Amino acid sequence: MIAEKREAAAASAAAIDIAAAAQLACLLEASAPKPGNVSPGRHFHDLRYEDFLASAAAIGAPLAGAGTRPLGETIRLAIEATARWTRSNANLGIVLLLAPLARAASIGGGDLRAAVRRVLDETTVDDARNVYAAIRQAAPGGLGAVEEQDVSGDPTLPLADVMRLAAGRDAIAREYAAAFELTFLTGVPALERARNDGLAWDAAAVETFLTLLAAAADTHIARRGGPALAEEVSRQAREALAAGGVRSAGGREAIDRMDRALRDGRHLANPGAAADLTAAAIFVVLLGGGWQTPGSRRGGRDAASR
């Protein structure tokens, strides 16, 4: 009996830590001044920084239970919780990325990416049905319609298979199809390198964001503004990194120019997919104990340093 109580207490503590890491990842991502995105003092007319704070708080309880229920249900519950706090779609992509990671972390086993693969391999049609409901509730712009497994209908394939069908046009779906390849092989190493080099969390998040954006055209931009615009924004990210990025005055000037160029009333050039992937990379690093890195103890150079 005592051993069972200890195991239950340990599982509860682990679930709370996973949820805290997810919420902190959302807060760190939203707070970093990523070009073309919402951040403190940089709002959209229909989406404010405070919406991201509210959505980060809202997903804690659903993600704390990620190990106790099917993946699709966790995603639906997280989006329903978000809707109770904000009317804006602030976190659909983030929830879609963080939920499998949270479930994988709950399973344990040491190798997080291997656990993610198991989570995705075990998805069902019911998972897809719950995710479709979450997507319809969040109502993201620019989705359009597709002939096979469209979100307006009822899915007939497991969630992982549905995501594979969309992988060519959506970055989040591509992560499901490739076991979070961009997150683990591009985003996480970039963030760890930045933190180990002494960058503060905001600067490290911006550098990670630029690295992800430079590596792959943003599908959120491609969907709203076309593939040519998405490729142009990725080129700007590569230019900013080549100029030093957050680590040099010239690089920071390039980031500022990029930010001004990406802002328009319709948000056509908003690199939302790269921002979501940045949150996923932060979550993975936090799950691995990254909050207590040497960089965090030193304080680090922030994104506004001159």
Q: At what angle do helices 125-138 and 92-107 cross, to 10 degrees?
A: 150
> What burial letters (b/e) apply to 58-85, b meaning 16+ CB within 10 Å?
bbbebbbbbbeebbbbbbbbbbebbbeb
Give the tens place of pLDDT for each residue, 33-57: 999 999 998 888 788 999 999 999 9
**H or E segment to which residue 266 belongs:** none
267 confidence band (pLDDT: 50, 70, 90): confident
Domain ranges of the chain: 12-298
Question: Residue 294, exposed/middle/buried by CB under 10 A (0-12, 13-18, 19+)?
Answer: exposed
Residue 296 reports pLDDT greater than 80: no
pLDDT at residue number 10? 64
pLDDT at residue number 177? 97
Q: Which residue has the higher pLDDT, 10 or 207?
A: 207
Q: Which residue has the higher pLDDT, 162 or 108?
A: 162
pTM, two decimals, is 0.92
CATH class of the domain at 12-298: mainly alpha
Residue 112 reports pLDDT greater than 90: yes
Distance (Å, rounded) from C-alpha 47 to C-alpha 283?
23
Give the tens place of pLDDT for each residue, 125-170: 999 999 999 999 987 765 666 767 778 889 999 999 999 999 999 9
